[in-house]
Structure formats: C-alpha cells, structure tokens
Structure 1
Amino acid sequence: MSMTIYKETYFEASHRLLNYTGKCYRLHGHQWRVEVWITGDVEPESQILVDYNCIKQVVNRFDHQVILNLKDPMVECLSTFQEVITTEGDPTSENLARIIAGMIDESCTADGIPASVTKIRVWESTSCYAQLTFDVI
C-alpha cells in the first residue's frame, strides 16, 4: 500500500553566502525548520513507511553546525577549531532542501525502504522557505 507521511523538525546552524552581496554574506545563524513528505510502500507487518526518528536523525546532522560553501576561505580557518559542513555552492535554503532530501533518500535506500522524499521545505526564517517537489514513485 502506498502512503505519504509528513515530519517537521528543526535544527540550529550558522551559515554565510559567499556569492551574495548583502547581510547574508556575513556568518550568521538561524533556527532552521524542515518539513518533509515521504511517499512509498508501507511495510506490511509493521504498517510503517519510515520511522519518523530516522528523518529527524538525518536532519540533526546539521544541528549546531557551521555550514559553508566548499570554496569559502572560512572553511580552512574554522576547521582548525570545529567541524564544518561544506556544500557545493552556497548553503542557501534552496541548496539545503536538495541536500537534505538526497540524504533522506539515501538513508531509505540503505535501510531497504521503498520510499523517497516527494516534497521538502526548508525554512530559513519564519517567513522564508525553499520548497522542492519531486515526482511520486
């Protein structure tokens, strides 16, 4: 049976946009909100599509982290003191939506779960989000 589930979760992280002129060029932080819709086949015995905690575990990899463009010169300096998550391109809400959706899909595949993200929203603030919508499997 095909089913869609929804999970909302949050993480705290800082970032900066290297290829942007404006305030967001400076290192700053947000409480990021992530909403995920996953569609697939429910496991017959458990009647569960995906454990909600698995989604949260993927998103929590970003919690209390610094997220920077791989080409950002700050990466080398900050890496001396702490882990830095790097992204190809700037860590915008648009890019993080794509990255997180991919990580969740990889986690489902690794766990043998026939499901994938069909929609994801990554909120950078209470009034701004990026949304990706994928074809249903």
Structure 2
Amino acid sequence: MYELTVSVDFEAAHRIVDYPGKCDRLHGHNWLVEVTVAGQKLNELGMLIDFKELKAEVNQVINQLDHIYLNELEAFQVENPTAENIARYIYTALRKRPVLAQRVSVRKVKVWESPKSAVTYHEDDR
C-alpha cells in the first residue's frame, strides 16, 4: 500500500455562530490543507498518481474556499465552518472527484487553522 500526501493553502474568513468567545466575530485564517490518498497499483512510470495531478484535483476543491466568507457557502448554512467541518467538507468533495475515485482512495484530510492547531478527518473504514 502506498500513501501520498500533498499540501495546499488558502485564505478565508469565517465566524463560529454562538461561540462563547471572540471566534463568534468575523475573522480570517491562512488555512493549510494536507490530503493523503492511498492505493496499491502503480502506473507504467512507477507512480500511484502524479503529485502534479493530485494537487490539481485538490485545488479544484480548495479554489471554491479561497478568499471567501465560508459561512456563506451552502454547506455551512446549516453547520458552522469549524476546522472539523471544513476538513469533512474537503474530504467528501475529494471522494466525489472522478479522477481520484478511479485511481486512489482518499485516506484523510488534515486542516491547519493556525501553525499550532489542526484537525484530521477520515472515515472509520481505514
């Protein structure tokens, strides 16, 4: 089994509605996202998936989050855009990408809200 990880970043603002502290106010982060995929079959070049191709697929999802107010996204109309929910949102969106679904399995998504605070989301079937 091989695991590959790529990192991408984005900037976005959010607020945590009903949070009992200053995170209830509008604020922004420089988010860092690490995506890990896994698989067993290497291609004719000896790669599971080209890092460039994987990063392009990840960026298709991340670009929807970049430089926006996350609370306005439909996905976050019902739940707060916490790091936990953002990680799950990215994970779910990546699992739906046809190129990834055909070649690798998305293992986990780690979202860094700050250099010292991160959350990892993965499904229980790991």
For this structure pair, what is the TM-score category when the shorter chain's length is used for normalisation? 0.7 to 0.9
Gaps of 5+ in 1: 69-83
Residue of structure 1 equivalent to 2:49: 49
Displacement of 1:133: 3.1
1:2-54 CA distances to partner (integer Å, 9 max, x unpaired)? Answer: 42110111000000011311111011111001011111244634534262221
In structure 2, list runs of 5 or more residues that go unmatched.
none
In the TM superposition, 1:51-66 aligns within 5 A as 51=53, 52-66=55-69
In structure 1, C-alpha distance between the alignment counterparts of 2:73 and 2:2, rounded to whole Å: 33
User: Which protein shows a greater Rg?
Assistant: 1
| Structure number having the greater helix percentage | 2
SS of corresponding position for 1:124: strand
Aligned-partner Cα distance in 2 for 1:24–1:42: 44
After TM superposition, the score normalised by the length of structure 2 is: 0.82
Q: In 1, are the aligned partners of 2:39 and 2:48 still within 8 Å (CA)?
A: no
The question of 1:26 aligning with 2:25 is answered yes
TM-score of the aligned structures, taking structure 1 as reference length: 0.76
Q: State the match for 1:8 in structure 2.
A: 7
Q: Percent identity?
A: 34
CA RMSD across the alignment: 1.9
**How many positions carry a matched residue from both structures?**
118
